[in-house]
Amino acid sequence: MVSHSKGNRTRSRNLLKKSPRERGAIPSLSSLMYDYKPGDKVIIKINSSIHNGMPHRRFQGRVAEVVGKRGRAYELKLRVGNKEKLIIVRPEHLRLFKQ
């Protein structure tokens, strides 16, 4: 019997699936050029066509706070349960959170 694979993208077929209109190139280059500042709230929206800097699927749809920048990527702080996590995500997978 073959053991079940436990990779980063297991059981994510529907979670990371794009609609037919979203497929192809990056949706908007202006979103990549936006400079997030520390304290900004962002939504983690994984772009499954870009593998670099992709967060784990458990963070899909979460709202996080920008703490700093590390190279091209951003350091985000978010709470999962009663723990505070620091994750590093590239801007392709982020959207500004409008309250």
Establish if 3 belongs to a structural domain: no
Q: What is the pLDDT of residue 27?
A: 66
The domain of 64 spans 30-96
Identity of the amino acid at 84: E
pLDDT, tens digit (0-9, with 9 covering 90-100), for 52-91: 999 999 999 999 999 999 999 999 999 999 999 999 999 9
Per the DSSP assignment, residues forming a β-bridge with 76 are 66, 87
Spatial CA neighbour of 19 closest among 57, 56, 48, 62: 48
The distance from CA 43 to its chain's CA centroid, rounded to whole angstroms, is: 8
Establish if 4 belongs to a structural domain: no
Domain count, the chain: 1
Asked whether 30 and 86 are in contact (CB, 8 A), the reply is no
- Tokens 């091209």 locate to 72
Establish if 8 belongs to a structural domain: no
DSSP 8-class letter at 70: E
CATH code of the domain containing 39: 2.30.30.70
Q: What is the pLDDT of residue 7?
A: 87
pLDDT, tens digit (0-9, with 9 covering 90-100), for 42-55: 999 999 888 899 99
